Structure 1
Amino acid sequence: MTNEKIRDQIANYHPFNEQEEHDQQELLWQIDHVQDLLTRNNRNAHFTASAWIVSPDRQKVLMAYHNIYQSFAWLGGHVDGDPDFKHVISKEITEESGLEDFKFVSDDIFSLEILTVDGHIKRGEYVSSHLHLNVTYLIEADPALPIRIKPDENSAIAWIDLKDLPNKINEPWFYKWIYQKLIQKAAEF
């Protein structure tokens, strides 16, 4: 059973657009009808947490060049049984980028997404296609702070100017449906 606090946060979330409205309803259905969404034991769908990490002026975003997807992408990861998604994303930010000094712009969920993950090889083993039931938090950090790669997951970490972002993303669906939404929401926040 998924933590009631998570369900309440998702139920009380105010969708930004049609994608979030539909994904919010599906997330709630998944929570109410599917077991083991907090771990990868559920191979069809499980929760992940992501960070949209922006500079204080909201003109840059911190992204990692993801080795599996061969594209710059936001930071985040599987919740692996931890119902404290803010704790999960804090850990993931530091693990994936080395960034240790950052702040949550809000304690609330910033964005909701259901993301398709194509089958791939990870650590020498095939992982079947599945869904990531994703919650995103808005994070702010200083681009002058030290960052580093995590070689087993990414081969670059960079602060990317928003105007350059379309040229850095090799996943058109992500840019159109997710990153553009996050850019717009962060500018209005």
Structure 2
Amino acid sequence: MSLHDDAVAVLKEYDDQRELRDAYVDHLSAHPDGMWKSCGEGHVTASALVVDPERDRVLLTLHRKMRMWLQMGGHCEPGDRTLADAALREATEESGITGLRLLRGGPVRLDRHETPCGWHLDVEYAALAPSGAVESISDESLDLRWFGYDAVPEIADTTVVRLLEATRARL
């Protein structure tokens, strides 16, 4: 199964945000290259909110290009077999934490937003940090920091807040 086929299957199983989900599926039907940054009409991306439920906190990155506190994530790569693989790879690369595992049940949310490289059709997961996880900043970040759940609305935009709310509901 190709990454494109996996994305379509994952999205068709996702029950929330039906209008946005259907727009993603329609986009992929119309664009065989819709998984890749080169797709001028927008492309599917994968992200993961890194959560430490033992300490009621999340790890956010101050994104170098966007200059915003965000979850880990980005573009799919040819080596990614599934959207979940892409989200986990991005979370691991950007957090420096080994041993992350995705929360069961598939994506937590969808979010469509414009970026300097075009429209991102982001499929958002949650990744659980192992006990005692130690983060390490990557070159894609200006900063990397743990925030208590209650602090997130003060420093992040509404898309991150909604992702955190949906993640906490799933936990």
TM-score (norm 1): 0.79
* Contact residue 100 and residue 129 of structure 2 kept, 8 A: yes
From the superposition, tell whether residues 162 and 70 of structure 1 become closer, same or farther in structure 2 (CA, over 3 Å): same
Letter in 1 for 2:167: A
For residue 151 of structure 2, what is the aligned residue in structure 1? Answer: 164
1:50 is paired with a residue of what secondary structure?
strand
From the superposition, tell whether residues 2 and 101 of structure 1 become closer, same or farther in structure 2 (CA, over 3 Å): closer
For residue 172 of structure 1, what is the aligned residue in structure 2? Answer: none
Residue 5 of structure 1 and its aligned partner are, at CA, apart by 2.8
Match of 1:186 among 152, 167, 171: 167
**Within 5 Å, which residues of 2 pair with 1:22-37?**
22-37=19-34
Gaps spanning 5+ residues in structure 1: where?
120-126, 170-174
- The separation in 1 between residues aligned to 2:154 and 2:162, in whole angstroms, is 17
For residue 13 of structure 1, what is the aligned residue in structure 2? Answer: 14
Gaps spanning 5+ residues in structure 2: where?
none
RMSD: 2.0
Match of 1:76 among 73, 77, 96: 73
From the superposition, tell whether residues 94 and 2 of structure 1 become closer, same or farther in structure 2 (CA, over 3 Å): closer
- The separation in 2 between residues aligned to 1:2 and 1:37, in whole angstroms, is 10
- The separation in 1 between residues aligned to 2:41 and 2:105, in whole angstroms, is 28
Letter in 2 for 1:180: V
Aligned length: 168
- The separation in 1 between residues aligned to 2:166 and 2:47, in whole angstroms, is 15
For residue 87 of structure 1, what is the aligned residue in structure 2? Answer: 85
* Contact residue 50 and residue 91 of structure 2 kept, 8 A: no
Q: Moved runs in structure 1, 4+ residues, more than 6 A?
A: none
* Contact residue 4 and residue 32 of structure 2 kept, 8 A: no
Summarize deviations over 1:24-69 as a string: whole Å, max 9, x none.
1210110111230121121331111000111124721111111111
**Within 5 Å, which residues of 2 pair with 1:83-162?**
83-117=81-115, 119=116, 127=117, 130-142=118-130, 144-151=132-139, 153-162=140-149
Deviates further, 26-35 or 49-58: 49-58
* Contact residue 61 and residue 160 of structure 1 kept, 8 A: yes
For residue 62 of structure 1, what is the aligned residue in structure 2? Answer: 59
TM-score (norm 2): 0.87
- Whether 2:53 is the aligned partner of 1:38: answer no
